[in-house]
Amino acid sequence: MIKAISHLGVAVQNLEEAREFYRSVFGVESGEPMIGGGGMVRASLVELDNATVELLEPIGNEGAIAKFLEKRGEGIHHICYEVDDINAEIESLKAKGIEALGKPTPGAEGLSAFLHPKGTHGILVELVQKE
């Protein structure tokens, strides 16, 4: 069962420009960039009181974020929900006809897995079991 919104993933062309935007316009700092997505993404978390924004910049021209930017441009890429037991949640969702895109893997906040948008009303959904 979903506990809370963990974060919103936002695809950006340039991570440093996006970090500076949040710093200069909204007055909030973002975390140090980290590499994720199998080495295909640089990410930085903007921690707010009640939510987190995950800024995502592709490394190179391959990978999900690069393809997303090419097709749709910058913007919201996914919504991530926190769950207690990611494996049990995926099994429950599979029984309801919702397709997971691979198995849970370590991510920025813990074990995570994505759900196919065709089963979630067109939204790429990430589930995370926080560490």
Instruction: State the pLDDT at residue 24.
Output: 97
Contact of 80 with 102, CB cutoff 8 Å:
no
Instruction: State the pLDDT at residue 38.
Output: 84
Instruction: State the pLDDT at residue 88.
Output: 96
pLDDT at 109 exceeding the cut of 90: no
pTM, entire model: 0.90
Q: What whole-number percentage of the chain has pLDDT above 90?
A: 90
pLDDT per position as a tens digit, 73-86: 999 999 999 999 99
Domains and CATH numbers, the chain: 2-130 (3.10.180.10)
Q: What whole-number percentage of the chain has pLDDT above 70?
A: 100
Q: Is 72 exposed, middle or buried (0-12, 13-18, 19+ CB in 10 A)?
A: exposed
pLDDT per position as a tens digit, 37-51: 888 999 999 999 988
Query: Six-digit token pair at 99?
Result: 């397709």
One DSSP character per residue, 13-48 reads: S-HHHHHHHHHHHH----PPPEEEGGGTEEEEEEE-
Query: Six-digit token pair at 39?
Result: 């080495």
